């Protein structure tokens, strides 16, 4: 009997202990969740919604905490972690519950992985941040999340293929975006599309699309507000990349645009463009947004009625210090070992109109890539293959110089058709009398520093109707074929420049102009395939 009494007493004690333990677990669980939310407030400077499902009113932020966070450390003593009851992480039969995204890890390990590895950030008390440079290695199409989860959003791609950012659904609505797919932690992939004139954009990865109706004459302007409050509180924006997903306006007349696209507010000098520019891009250097907001204006101006105007421009804001920023003074920047580069408005279409734009003056830069585990030693360029009758290289019609004859000027259309179809190099040649300079590649040209053809001939300045460093003669310049041109000069850069007219440049009293030139004939610009070796 004594043995039965002892066993019965033990059962009663264990039962009451279990009941108390159940109550304790509920209290501990509440404290544990309370502790997690407090850690979020301290670590991310983020106050959760007081009307959340946790029914928890957050504590007020510690005074002066933002200043301490900006220095990477704080003197505030963090409360010790409250260890959750085992049943919170372990269910029946010892099976671990994957709750709250903790991946079945407990205590410090789970907090470290979630806040440190997945979010690429650590608590303010930690100055050791081994993943702090990981974001800088992500390509431009994946704008990284740097410091504040409300100011810097992870990039995402919606089912339609459009780029967006991961934000809470309420924030997406606040910025006028539309949810398209889901992200982790209950966020949505927010695609921000603007299709109006006169709007202002503050959200990264915004698409600006043409409105359904465009009156003429009219101006359609979009303002990109580079605001540290919403974009990069800790790392200000240094550049904006424009990707012309689609871009179609009326064609220029003799190289001069009637429909115009301009950029205002950037420190980069951006040429006026028009025509067909789908697939092109621009990098814009912007004034520092570290202390004050900067406004960049994208402006279309339309003079006459047309039914072919449409555009879809992706606007990406790039933070200072990112490894994928374009070098200074580079309007275009290519970051692959092989690819294709085209002048604005070049298309593989039958020639018959002037597609080359006037007043172009910009640099095209190429990042030095690793080739066979070593930095590329040279870049080679060759004209594109065309299938629809386009002209891959047509920059300034070569001028032939005939012997001096009394009563005639120095420029002459020789009866040799090939004279106007050849390549050309250099800046100018002298007529037979030696008293007049005739322009070759003086007004419209591309520069490839240190360019060398397959035959070993070198030249820096190219124009004409073929890419070839051959000189030829003053009566029959260059050659009738294009060749591959390579240069070892790093950094790899092409400079492209055109003047403001396709008409002849003449004067009765040289040297009022540097050199005379005949009129240009249906120039198209250029299309070049490049390869780093």
| 442 Rama class: left (phi>0) / alpha (psi -120 to 50) / beta | alpha
Q: What is the pLDDT of residue 5?
A: 63
Q: How many Cα atoms within 13 Å fall on the side-chain side of residue 343?
A: 31
Compute CA distances 131 → 116, 117, 147, whole Å.
8, 7, 12
Reported as a pLDDT band with limits 50, 70 and 90, residue 494 is very high
Token couple for 498: 């055109």
Query: How many other C-beta atoms can be found within 10 angstroms of the C-beta atom of residue 150?
Result: 15
**Burial grade of 306 (CB within 10 A; 0-12, 13-18, 19 or more):** middle
Is residue 111's pLDDT more than 60? no
> What number of other Cβ atoms are within 10 A of residue 193's Cβ?
15
How confident is residue 420, by pLDDT bands cut at 50, 70 and 90?
A: confident
pLDDT band at residue 4 using 50, 70 and 90 as cut-offs: low
Q: Kindly list the distances between the CA atom of residue 313 and the CA atoms of 206, 210, 370, in Å, as whole numbers in the listed order.
A: 8, 9, 31
Highest mean pLDDT among 63-72, 98-107, 484-493: 484-493
Question: 524 falls in which pLDDT band (50, 70, 90)?
Answer: very high
Query: Strand, helix or coil at 456?
Result: coil
Those residues with Cβ within 8 angstroms of residue 182's Cβ, 6 or more apart along the chain or in another chain: 188, 189
Q: Give, in degrees to the nearest 5, the angle at Cα 304 between 300 and 309.
A: 50
Name the residue among 417, 432, 427, 365 with its Cα closest to residue 396. 427
**Beta-carbon neighbour count of residue 291 at 10 Å?**
7
Task: Name the average pLDDT for the chain.
Answer: 74
Of the pLDDT bands very low, low, confident and very high (cuts 50, 70, 90), residue 110 is very low
Q: Given the structure tokens 């966020």, which residue do they identify?
A: 187
HEC states along 279-345? Answer: CCEEEEECCCCCCCCEEEEEEEEECCCCCCCEEEEEEEEEECCCCCCCCCCCCEEECCCEEEEECCC
Q: For the segment 309-321, what is each residue's pLDDT rounded down to a tens digit?
A: 999 999 999 998 8
The 10s digit of each residue's pLDDT in 374-413 is 999 999 999 999 999 999 999 988 766 655 544 444 444 4
Instruction: Let me know: does 452 contact 485? Beta carbons within 8 Å.
Output: yes
**Mean pLDDT of the 483-497 span:** 98
pLDDT at 84: 42
pLDDT at 516: 81
pLDDT digits (tens, 9 = 90+) for 138-180: 333 333 333 333 345 678 888 878 888 888 888 887 777 888 8
pLDDT tens digits for range 213-262? 888 899 999 999 986 554 434 578 899 999 999 999 999 999 999 999 99
Residues 6+ apart with CB under 8 A from 469: 425, 451, 452, 453, 457, 458, 459, 462, 483, 485
End-to-end CA distance of the chain: 94
pLDDT at residue 287 in the model: 84
Between CA 384 and CA 401 the distance in angstroms is 30
Q: What is the pLDDT of residue 90?
A: 40
What domains, with CATH codes, occur in the chain?
155-192 (no CATH), 195-321 (2.60.120.290), 326-532 (2.60.120.290)
* Residue from 145, 158, 131, 278 nearest 204 by CA: 145
Buried b or exposed e, range 478-506, using 16+ CB within 10 angstroms: bbeebbebbbeeeebbbbbbbbebbeebe
Task: Calculate mean pLDDT across residues 69-98.
Answer: 38
Rounded to whole angstroms, the Cα distance separating 281 from 278 reads 9
pLDDT band at 433 (very low <50, low <70, confident <90, very high): low
Of 384 and 430, which is predicted with more confidence?
384
The confidence score (pLDDT) of residue 274 equals 98
**What is the DSSP track for 156-178?**
EE-TTS-EEEEE-HHHHHHTT-E
What is the reported pLDDT for 153?
A: 62
The residue-averaged pLDDT of 325-339 equals 97
SS3 69: helix
| Under 8 Å between Cβ of 345 and 273 | yes
pLDDT in tens, 128-147: 444 344 333 333 333 333 33
Look up the pTM and report it.
Answer: 0.69
């Amino acid at each position: 009997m004594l043995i039965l009494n002892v066993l019965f007493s033990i059962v009663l004690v264990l039962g009451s202990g279990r009941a108390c333990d159940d109550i304790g677990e509920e209290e501990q669980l509440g404290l544990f969740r309370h502790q997690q939310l407090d850690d979020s407030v301290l670590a991310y400077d983020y106050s959760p919604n007081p009307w959340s499902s946790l029914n928890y009113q957050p504590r007020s932020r510690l005074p002066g905490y933002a200043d301490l966070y900006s220095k990477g450390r704080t003197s505030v003593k963090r409360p010790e972690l409250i260890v959750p009851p085992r049943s919170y992480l372990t269910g029946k039969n010892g099976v671990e519950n994957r709750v709250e995204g903790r991946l079945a890890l407990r205590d410090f390990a789970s907090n470290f992985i979630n806040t440190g590895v997945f979010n690429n950030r650590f608590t303010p008390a930690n100055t050791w941040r081994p993943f702090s440079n990981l974001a800088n290695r992500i390509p431009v199409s994946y704008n990284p999340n740097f410091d504040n989860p409300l100011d810097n959003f992870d990039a995402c791609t919606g089912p339609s293929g459009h780029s967006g950012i991961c934000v809470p659904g309420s924030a997406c609505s606040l910025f006028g975006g539309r949810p398209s797919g889901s992200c982790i932690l209950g966020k949505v992939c927010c695609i921000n599309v603007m299709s109006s004139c006169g709007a202002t954009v503050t959200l990264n990865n915004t698409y600006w699309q043409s409105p359904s109706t465009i009156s003429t004459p009219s101006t359609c302007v979009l303002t990109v507000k580079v605001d540290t409050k919403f974009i990069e509180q800790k790392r200000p924006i240094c550049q904006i990349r424009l990707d012309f997903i689609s871009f179609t306006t009326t064609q220029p007349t003799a190289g001069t645009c009637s429909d115009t696209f301009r950029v205002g507010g950037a420190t980069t000098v951006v040429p006026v463009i028009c025509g067909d520019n789908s697939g092109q891009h621009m990098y814009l250097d912007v004034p520092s947004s570290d202390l004050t907001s900067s406004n960049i204006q994208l402006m279309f101006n339309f003079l006459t009625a047309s039914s072919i105007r449409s555009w879809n421009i992706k606007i990406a804001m790039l933070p200072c210090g990112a490894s994928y920023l374009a070098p200074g003074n580079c309007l275009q920047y290519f970051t692959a070992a092989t690819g294709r580069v085209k002048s604005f408005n070049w298309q593989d279409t039958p020639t018959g109109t002037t597609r080359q734009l006037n007043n172009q003056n910009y640099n095209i830069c190429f990042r030095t890539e690793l080739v066979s585990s070593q930095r590329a030693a040279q870049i080679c360029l060759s004209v594109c293959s065309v299938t629809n009758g386009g002209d891959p290289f047509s920059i300034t019609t070569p001028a032939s110089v005939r012997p001096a004859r009394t009563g005639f000027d120095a420029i002459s259309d020789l009866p040799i058709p090939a004279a106007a179809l050849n390549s050309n190099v250099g800046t100018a040649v002298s007529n037979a009398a030696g008293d007049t300079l005739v322009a070759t590649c003086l007004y419209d040209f591309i520069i490839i520093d240190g360019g060398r053809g397959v035959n070993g001939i070198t030249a820096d300045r190219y124009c004409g109707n073929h890419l070839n460093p051959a000189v030829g003669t003053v009566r029959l310049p260059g050659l009738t074929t294009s060749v591959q041109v390579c240069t070892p000069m790093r950094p790899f850069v092409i400079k492209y420049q055109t003047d403001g007219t396709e008409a002849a440049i003449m004067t009765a009293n040289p040297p009022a102009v540097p050199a005379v030139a005949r009129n240009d004939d249906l120039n198209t610009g250029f299309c070049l395939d490049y390869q780093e070796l």
